[in-house]
Structure 1
Amino acid sequence: MIRRTKIVATIGPASGHSEMIAKLLDAGVNVFRLNFSHGTADGHRQQVAIIRQVCASKKVHAAILGDLQGPKIRIGDLRNDAVTLVNGEEIILTIDQSRGEDDDRIPVGYKALPQSVATGDTLLLDDGLIELSVSLIVGGDVHCSVQVGGELKSRKGLNRLGGGLSAPAITEKDLQDIDLAAELSVDYLAVSFPCCASDLDPVKRRLDDLGARIGIIAKIERAEAVANEQTLNELILAADGVMVARGDLGVEVGNSQLIGLQKRIIRQARRSNRPVITATQMMESMISSPVPTRAEVFDVANAVLDGTDAVMLSAETATGKYPVKVVMAMADACVGAEQQPDTRISGHRVDDRVENISESIALSAIYAANHLDNVKASLCLTESGATALIMSRLSSSLPIYGVSRHPETCRRMTLYRGVIPIHCDITTNDEEGYQQALLSVTSTGAIGLGDRVIVTSGDITGTGGMTNTLKILQVKGA
């Protein structure tokens, strides 16, 4: 059975060499994530070269996603790199770095902290593992009582329950990493901690100045980003895709609210024709265990049932002991969920009117594929991949083959749910072009003689967004 949900794997010390990249591709990875929070520019250059070389040798397509560090608010460097906080203990968070060595003070790099919090606020450290309650604010010091203690290490994250701590959207390091992403021609660039649509503008301007065609993924991880429908919708529409970044988002809104938010973000992203990635702690136990827990399998499966395009692995493949096994386990969970009847039924936009011909053709193609007997696949002849993306918004058990002459379009389509990219140098959308596309798919063994295939294309080649033709063809012998 063809797996429709895509897998994003983070590259790190456990997975960066060519042999492991090849194994991860065989196991089912579709997108490789480079975490710009770690590593060096030269290290990332080497990594991209390895991924592209292995993909070329295996004749497969895989996208590369660069992930900006963003303005994550962190505590500073601690004496001996760690401190143990005890329940009921009184501590002080200080913006005065010179006093960070005092026994009762923890330095914080966020200068606006005293003005951003109030007595009674709950502050969360290290992804919510440590909980503090604000009791007093004096100058640059925020006095807190420890509600949930534990070992705190240097440079761990700091959040306020309910949100409200925010720094400039793009840092100087991010600007350097955007330049690097453009140099490496990564396919997607994830922007961390945007609160609203305008937070993406500096990234867009930088990429435009560099002449880089890179899809922007907005990471939804701030409480402000989901505070109301309008803000969320504007942020989704401003991006080329979104990520449900459940780590910081869960810390800021609370885990109980995260369940509904995940479903809401995925639903709105799909309605807006944007691909969506679900991320964070999906199979975290497999960092050290060769098998996932049932809860983790359920978590992945529920994201699939919610309609996510992709599920993401972080430390599991970056530093974990079992990178290949965790990808295989995730792939199995996706396939299991996709066998449920609900994943093959779509009410996507059935009562809505559409504004352009390309979208009408795309929606009509999947409707025909789902309702006409003996249809085995949909073929989308595409320049930009836009029609294939719209087709992928509808649920179906049939594969969508995105056939393009542009390698970068093929790589971008690897993120779209149910879309299988095929590189084929088609320059004419006529009978010859259709037969060339059919041959490129039949050569994979996916379709055979007598099968019906839905084909979409446009009259004008070389221009994206011009799809205006739908044909139903039957595969014939030579």
Structure 2
Amino acid sequence: MLRHATKIVATIGPASSSPEILEAMIREGVSVVRLNFSHGVAQDHVERARLVREAAARVGREVAIMADLQGPKIRVGKFAEGRVQLEPGASFVLDASRTEAGDLLGVGLDYKELPRDVRPGDTLLLNDGLITLRVDRVQGEAVHTTVLLGGELSNNKGINKQGGGLSAAALTAKDMEDIRTAMSFQADYVAVSFPKSASDMEMARHLCHMAGAEHGHRPFLIAKIERAEAIPRLPEILQASDAIMVARGDLAVEVGNAAVPALQKHMIRLAREHDKVVITATQMMESMIVNPVPTRAEVSDVANAVLDGTDAVMLSAETAAGRFPVETVREMANICIAAEAHDKFELDADFTGKTFSRIDQSIAMAALFTAHHMNAKALVALTESGSTALWMSRYRVRSPIYAMTSRQTSQRRMALFRNVHALLTQTHTERETVLREVEAHLLHQGVVQQGDTYVLTCGEPMGTPGGTNMLQVCRVQ
């Protein structure tokens, strides 16, 4: 059983693709493994997905696989020497028609639409905001700029426009091919990069359903919030998604570093209010790429995300390319445990003014209220789709939530839900048989002992998705 309610997402790459490292990371607390489709080819991801499933089986715990799409390549081209040093005040040309390698005077563009997306006075931020250019004029396919903040610019570094406004579509031809690859190994989650509206997510879902049809698979979708345009459209994007990712890297470049902490809190709160899952990502333990311990600032960053109610915290280069992937996961898990020990439980206040029109959702909320006031040792949801467990996980409660399902796809999806421990059970139509199985498992895991109470929800008749209609308070005999 995981010791922490907040889930850990870890990106795998060269540093973590061996069976031994993967297994160790899962044992230390990884619940979701991220495959970054910005790197590698299709067969790399297929092979890594296989390794993840095998490692999880050896550990005896299912983990979810997230396929993270690359999205549009809004980047400069290549330089003759691989890099240049830009000085403040210098002129520099970004030329969509340029075919030769770049130099100190200018460079070509992977993103050919840039000349139509900018106008004089706009600010362009390159290489995650480390270099700043002011647009002076646009002539044909060439964007003439002045360097405001200089530095080293190397091949294929990213371009952002301050305040947003780049027109690149969220889904590229490469993304569409990558969706087919992800569906071939039945990725549990697909993360869409740079969505600007609900229609971007609806298109991604349509493509996923088409590609997954032959496998009978439908993944959950994650909207990565990293464009300024996405912020005012968050409610509609949330409705079209199953989860969001607070992708603080590109978002910070577009809206400014200082705006991100408040936006992070806002997005976490909004996602939970909309019954959606939320991941906090980017540079959470960045120093551990090369150091065996995190900085105090990184510890505070992770802890604050946990206290804000994020479902998961994510590791990127720390586990994909860092020197200490296993140690990083262990440190992050310990931070989650320490933060959760000081979490506040205000369930009654959370319910103030809330109404529930669905029977199954009303039962889930009643179970939370009952478990909270009876100090129950566990909440148990017999759920086929995972919806009951999701609703329960939107509120802070002391009791761990055990989701019992006969569907492996549901079990894996629930690996991302905060405070939910998803377990695979046999399909039973007899409630008493299921109750005996549930109680035996809770006793075996040491969650309950004789005399303890736990709260259970299920549906009658059993095994019907969306049919949760019963609550029972159980005492261990």
Task: Compute the TM-score of the two structures, normalised by the length of structure 2.
Answer: 0.96
Of residues 258, 261, 282, the one that matches 1:280 is: 282
Residue 238 of structure 2 is aligned to residue 233 of structure 1: no
Distance 1:146 1:186 in 2: 43
Of residues 276, 295, 298, the one that matches 1:296 is: 298
Q: CA 1:160–1:183 in structure 2 vs 1: closer, same or farther (change >3 Å)? A: same
Q: Partner of 2:323 in structure 1?
A: 321
Distance 2:234 2:204 in 1: 18
Give the stretch that moved more between structures: 334-343 or 245-254. 334-343
Equivalent residue letter for 2:385: S
Residue 216 of structure 2 is aligned to residue 224 of structure 1: no
> What is the CA distance between 1:166 and its match in structure 2?
2.5
> What is the CA distance between 1:135 and its match in structure 2?
1.7
Contact 1:429 1:458 in 2 (8 A): no
Residue 229 of structure 2 is aligned to residue 203 of structure 1: no
Equivalent residue letter for 2:137: L
Aligned positions of 1:85-164 closer than 5 A = 85-98=86-99, 100-101=101-102, 103-164=104-165
Distance 1:190 1:76 in 2: 26
Q: CA RMSD in A?
A: 1.5
Contact 1:247 1:280 in 2 (8 A): yes
Distance 2:372 2:294 in 1: 34
Q: CA 1:102–1:326 in structure 2 vs 1: closer, same or farther (change >3 Å)? A: closer
Equivalent residue letter for 1:215: F
Identity of aligned residues (%): 46
Q: CA 1:73–1:347 in structure 2 vs 1: closer, same or farther (change >3 Å)? A: farther
Aligned positions of 1:402-417 closer than 5 A = 402-417=403-418
Contact 1:72 1:193 in 2 (8 A): no
SS of the residue 1:348 aligns to? helix
SS of the residue 2:426 aligns to? coil
SS of the residue 2:85 aligns to? strand
Distance 2:238 2:348 in 1: 21
Contact 1:15 1:21 in 2 (8 A): yes
- For residues 398-431 of structure 1, give each alpha carbon's deviation from its aligned partner in whole angstroms, at most 9, with x where no partner exists: 2000111112211111100000111111422522
Distance 1:68 1:42 in 2: 15
Aligned positions of 1:365-384 closer than 5 A = 365-373=367-375, 375-384=376-385
Aligned positions of 1:1-400 closer than 5 A = 2-98=3-99, 100-101=101-102, 103-210=104-211, 211=213, 212-226=217-231, 228=232, 231-342=233-344, 347-373=349-375, 375-400=376-401
Equivalent residue letter for 1:260: A
- For residues 113-138 of structure 1, give each alpha carbon's deviation from its aligned partner in whole angstroms, at most 9, with x where no partner exists: 12211222110011111111112222
Task: Compute the TM-score of the two structures, normalised by the length of structure 1.
Answer: 0.96
Distance 2:397 2:87 in 1: 53
Equivalent residue letter for 1:116: D
- For residues 155-207 of structure 1, give each alpha carbon's deviation from its aligned partner in whole angstroms, at most 9, with x where no partner exists: 11100010001312211110111001111011101000000000112221122
Contact 2:347 2:369 in 1 (8 A): no
SS of the residue 2:157 aligns to? coil
> What is the CA distance between 1:80 and its match in structure 2?
2.0
Residue 438 of structure 2 is aligned to residue 437 of structure 1: yes
SS of the residue 2:88 aligns to? coil
Distance 1:97 1:117 in 2: 18
- Aligned residue pairs: how many? 472
Distance 2:140 2:103 in 1: 17
Contact 1:70 1:191 in 2 (8 A): yes
Q: CA 1:95–1:264 in structure 2 vs 1: closer, same or farther (change >3 Å)? A: same
Give the stretch that moved more between structures: 306-315 or 417-426. 417-426
> What is the CA distance between 1:364 and its match in structure 2?
1.3
- For residues 189-227 of structure 1, give each alpha carbon's deviation from its aligned partner in whole angstroms, at most 9, with x where no partner exists: 10000000001122211222232310111111110000x
Equivalent residue letter for 1:4: A
Equivalent residue letter for 1:237: Q
Unaligned runs of 5+ in 2: none
Q: CA 1:283–1:429 in structure 2 vs 1: closer, same or farther (change >3 Å)? A: farther
Q: Partner of 1:401 in structure 2?
A: 402
Unaligned runs of 5+ in 1: none
Contact 2:281 2:315 in 1 (8 A): yes
> What is the CA distance between 1:355 and its match in structure 2?
1.7
Distance 1:114 1:347 in 2: 52
> What is the CA distance between 1:45 and its match in structure 2?
1.3
